[in-house]
Structures are given as structure tokens and as C-alpha cells.
Amino acid sequence: MNAADPIEPVRVVGRYALYGEIAAGGMATVHFGRLLGPVGFSRTVAIKRLHPQFAKDPEFVSMFLDEARLAARIRHPNVVPTLDVVATQGELFLVMDYVQGESLSRLIRAARDRSEHIPVRLVGSIVSGALHGLHAAHEAKNERGEPLHIVHRDISPQNVLVGVDGVARVLDFGVAKAAGRIQTTKEGQLKGKLAYMAPEQIGGQVSRQTDIYAGAIVLWEALVGQRLFSGDNEGQVLAKVLGGFVAPPSSMVAGLPVGLDEVVLRGLAREPQNRYATAREFAVALERCVGVASSTEVGEWVESIAHGALVKRAEKIAEIESSSTSNARIDFGKTSVTTASSPGVPANADPPVSQASQLSSISVSKSAVPLRSRTPVLVAAAIAVASLLGIVLFVALLHGRTPAETVAAPSAPGASRDPAIPPVPPDTTPAANAPQTAAPPATATATESAAAPPTPTHTHGHVVIHYPPHPTATAAPPPHPKNCDPPYTLDSNGHKLWKPECI
């Protein structure tokens, strides 16, 4: 795909957006991917996707999961780190760190197409880096600190990735052998590439010396620029591997450092015990013999010899990053996914249930919620308080009281008062010479008491307003004169005029 081609619709797999292919193999396909995180965080990754036909095979599935489990235990700059595993909709995805670079096999081919050899110091830097990564795998331990005894079993130029940062990294532990591995090799079944197998591996015996032998083949081919064991068919390749004859690199390429043949041939010794004890020992011997180039030199060489492929890949990544930023996002507050680039789906449409369920395990802490998201709650609370004060003011005006008096006045006789203010007994004495009558019904008394105005008096220069007590169902109504039913008259405008003798 050219960099100018439009970005294909995004498929969301868990927390990742899946894009086009980087490379394809017999067991899986590697894709560009983007980690879609909260608050705009994103990251470009490489996603290895097991072919659907293999996802139904328990042996292949266990092999794929073993790769992730084992690779996660290897922590070294010269090993491509495994970030995550996603199992969804009957498919398996292995998420790895994306490295901008090229495989050593393509770099050897590019140099051969130019009729060039890779500079020896660059070869020393690349292969020694891969050997240090292998040593880290061989020394990896489980959670209890027990050795895993990992053997890669598939070291080849295809599985050595050289980045533009000048660092060589080992990848693809899909056929690795380790203690406690779920997947086991069936009888008579070989794992790995025949042209890079040690003689004992063909017989079913593997150890870390098996990877050292394969590493020596990689070193030979990087120096010479061609395959060590090749043939028209697997039978011819097998015969050459078992034959044991290896031409020294100096017989193929002139001007190699003295002693380099010895370093290479020791790694290719037919008997495992005659090889280097560890991959690190092999790396140190190579570095002492040819020296190593700096990471800057290696990175510049990779960019120069694989310039076209790297530029197209960088343009593709830039387009993916731009597209994922503007068209794809994860709303972690709603645990949903929206992809405007999907055909027929509007940008604000609700995501499919499967996408939302894949994100159901993602949570955001309350402390991470910005203040502006809590502003509506604060405004609503302020409106509620203002409404309550308005109701209090309305009731106070309706009864002829000030808001302070309405709040401070007790709701019933005997209610608690401010101890600093002495209680004032209500004035229930009837007017002088007013005839006494029987008490009216309780309902009438309640109505009249509610309509009765407050009685002002003067005490030591202060105005004290007496409010009639609230009636209760059992309280006896105060007596009224005969002419106090009703205790008011109406003027021409319909206003109440209270009778003096009824106040």
C-alpha cells in the first residue's frame, strides 16, 4: 500500500486500533496498531494476528500464548518487548512494541542487490546485539525466580530486527522451548527453519548451544551476503546441514579481520560442547575480534540502505497517527469507542456492544475527573439553596413577618428558644367588659388564629411582637366576644377592618 492510499477502516481490538499489514508469515500476520488510551494518550504498536484457521487449533493457540508468556519474562534492550495479549471473537492478537527498522534478512538482500557487503564493524554490532538478547532469554526466570531454560529454536536473519536507532533486537519466540511450556512438539515434528538448525536439533535435542549455532549461521551470512545451507529442496538442505562442512568466511570475502574465521567456526562446531558456553561469551569474542560500530553508525546505515521502505512506512505511520487522532477516540467516561472513519457509521453514533464490552474493564478514578465536569452539580445546589430562601421569604411576607422572624419564631408552644431571650407569654387576656361566649369549633379557631395579626407591645423601648400559638387538635380555643364572629368587617373595597374589641 502506498502512503498516499487512504487509511482503511479501523477495527478496534480491545484497547487497540488495527490497521494494515507490516509483514505476513505462515502462522501470523503483523499489523500496524495504535493503543488508544485515556485523556488523548496513544501509542503506535505492532500487532501480531494469528491466522483465523490456526486460531481453531488448540496446539497453535497454545504455541501463540506461550510466545507471549515467555517473551514477557525477557526484559532486555535487544529483545522486542511483548506488551499485551488480546483474545476476542475467536481470534488471538499479540501486541508488541513497534520498532522503526528493517529485518536483517532484508538488509542483507539490499546490500547484495547493490553488490556490496555489510561493513564488518556493523555486522559485529548487529550480531553481538542479537547474541546479548539471546543470552537474556536463556537466563530468564519465572515469577518464583526459577530458570525457564528458554531456547528460541528459530534464530534466523528474519527474526533479527535492526532499528534506525542502531539497536538489533530478537523477536518471535513462537516456537521457543522452555520449562513449563504448555505446547509440546509432536513426535517427528520439527520446529524452526531447517537451514538454521543445529545437527542435534534435527535429532530432537535442543539447548542454548542450539541457539548459539543458529547465531553463528546468521553471522556467517551477514559477512558473506548469501545463504550458508541452501538447496533446491529440503532434502539437499538437510544433507548439507548434516554433512558438517562449512567454508570459512575469509574464503568467500577478502579483507576480513584475522581471527574472525575462528570465532565463526567455533560457533558452528558440530558438537554442542565445542561451541561457546553462552551467547554472551560468543558476543564478547566477536566484539574483541572486529570491534563494534556505534548505534549512530548502524542507524545511519540502516536508513541509507533501506531508505525507500522506511520512508513509506514512516508516511504510513504518520497518516495512521493523524487519522487516529482526528477520527478515532475512546470515551473512557462512557466506556465506548467511536470511529468516524468506519463506513456508514456517524462520528457520534453509539458503538457496537462488542466494542463497549471489550472496554468494560477500563475505569477512571474520581480524582481524575476535571473540575468542569462537577460545575453543573455546584450550580444546581446553588439554585436549590436560592429557591429555599425564596420560599422562606414568600411565607414570611404572606404572614406579615420578616424572614428573620419567620426563621426565629417557634413553631409551637414549648419549642426551644434562644436562652439569651426571655420567653414572652402570649397575650390571651380578653378585652375589658367583653362578654364571654362558648368556644367555637376547633376548625374555625384554627382558621381565625391563622388569620389573626400579630400583637405589638413596647418593652423598655423595644418593640416585641407576640404571635398567637399554633393550634393543636386538643388545645382549647381562646374565648371571643359575641360580636367577634367574624372579628372584622369589610369596607367598600373588600378589605378587612379588624374590630378593636377582637384584637
Interatomic CA distance for residues 13 and 56, integer angstroms: 18
- pLDDT category of residue 182 using cuts at 50, 70 and 90: very low
Ordered by where they begin, the domains of the chain are: 11-326 (1.10.510.10), 370-406 (no CATH), 434-503 (no CATH)
Share of the chain above pLDDT 70, in %: 64
Half-sphere exposure (Cβ direction) of 116: Cα atoms closer than 13 Å? 10
pLDDT for position 42: 82
Helix or strand (DSSP H, E) at 297? helix 295-305
Task: Count other Cβ atoms within 10 Å, centred on residue 325.
Answer: 12
The C-alpha torsion from 241 through 247 and 249 to 251, rounded to 10°, is -160
Q: Is the pLDDT of residue 451 over 80?
A: no
Which among 222-226, 379-383, 414-418 has the top mean pLDDT? 222-226
Q: Is the pLDDT of residue 60 over 50?
A: yes
* DSSP designation for 304: H
Q: CA of 259: how far to CAs of 58, 287, 288, 292, 298, in Å?
A: 48, 12, 10, 15, 23
Q: Is the pLDDT of residue 403 over 70?
A: no
* DSSP designation for 251: G
Interatomic CA distance for residues 66 and 92, integer angstroms: 12
In 274-333, the DSSP E strands lie at 328-331
| Alpha helix (H) residue ranges in 98-198 | 104-113, 120-138
Choosing from 154, 172, 211, 261, the catalytic residue is: 154
pLDDT for position 214: 96
Q: Helix, strand, or coil here: 323? A: helix
Q: Is the pLDDT of residue 270 over 50?
A: yes
pLDDT for position 342: 34
Q: Is the pLDDT of residue 307 over 50?
A: yes
Residues near 161 by beta carbon (within 8 Å), at least 6 away in sequence:
80, 99, 101, 102, 103, 104, 168, 169, 170, 171
Q: Helix, strand, or coil here: 43? A: strand
Is-contact 215 282, C-beta < 8 A?
yes
Q: Helix, strand, or coil here: 206? A: coil
Question: Cα–chain-centroid distance for residue 375?
Answer: 27
At 180, which amino acid appears?
Answer: G
Which among 80-94, 132-146, 468-482 has the top mean pLDDT? 132-146
Q: Is the pLDDT of residue 161 over 90?
A: yes
pLDDT for position 414: 46
- Phi, psi of 22, rounded to the nearest 5 degrees: -100, -45
| Mean pLDDT of the 99-115 span | 95
The torsion region of residue 204 among left (phi > 0), alpha (psi -120 to 50) and beta comes to left
Which among 50-59, 136-145, 315-324, 444-453 has the top mean pLDDT? 136-145
pLDDT for position 355: 35
| Mean pLDDT of the 70-83 span | 87
The grid coordinates of residue 80 equal 522486542
Q: Is the pLDDT of residue 180 over 70?
A: no
| Mean pLDDT of the 36-63 span | 81
The grid coordinates of residue 414 equal 414549648
Residues near 414 by beta carbon (within 8 Å), at least 6 away in sequence:
none
Summary mean pLDDT of the chain: 74
Q: Is the pLDDT of residue 113 over 70?
A: yes
Give the residue from 215, 67, 209, 83 showing the smallest Cα distance to 138: 209
Q: CA of 430: how far to CAs of 130, 351, 412, 434, 472, in Å?
A: 111, 79, 21, 7, 20
pLDDT for position 337: 36
User: Picking from 16-25, 216-225, 373-382, 466-475, which range would have the lowest pLDDT averaged per residue?
Assistant: 466-475
The grid coordinates of residue 427 equal 397575650
pLDDT for position 450: 45
Give the residue from 2, 19, 5 showing the smallest Cα distance to 339: 19
Pick 375 or 173 by higher pLDDT. Answer: 173
- pLDDT category of residue 449 using cuts at 50, 70 and 90: very low
pLDDT for position 490: 77
- pLDDT category of residue 169 using cuts at 50, 70 and 90: very high
| Mean pLDDT of the 41-47 span | 88
| Mean pLDDT of the 364-391 span | 57
Share of the chain above pLDDT 90, in %: 33
| Mean pLDDT of the 131-151 span | 91
User: Picking from 26-35, 40-49, 178-187, 336-345, which range would have the lowest pLDDT averaged per residue?
Assistant: 336-345
Is-contact 299 166, C-beta < 8 A?
yes
Whether this prediction's pTM lies above 0.75 is answered by: no
pLDDT for position 246: 92
Q: Is the pLDDT of residue 185 over 50?
A: no
154 is catalytic: yes
Which among 34-48, 183-197, 439-453 has the top mean pLDDT? 34-48
pLDDT for position 466: 53
pLDDT for position 471: 52
Summarised one tens digit per residue, pLDDT across range 326-372 is 554 444 333 333 333 333 333 333 333 333 333 333 333 333 334 44
User: How much is the CA Rg of the chain, to the nearest whole Å?
Assistant: 44
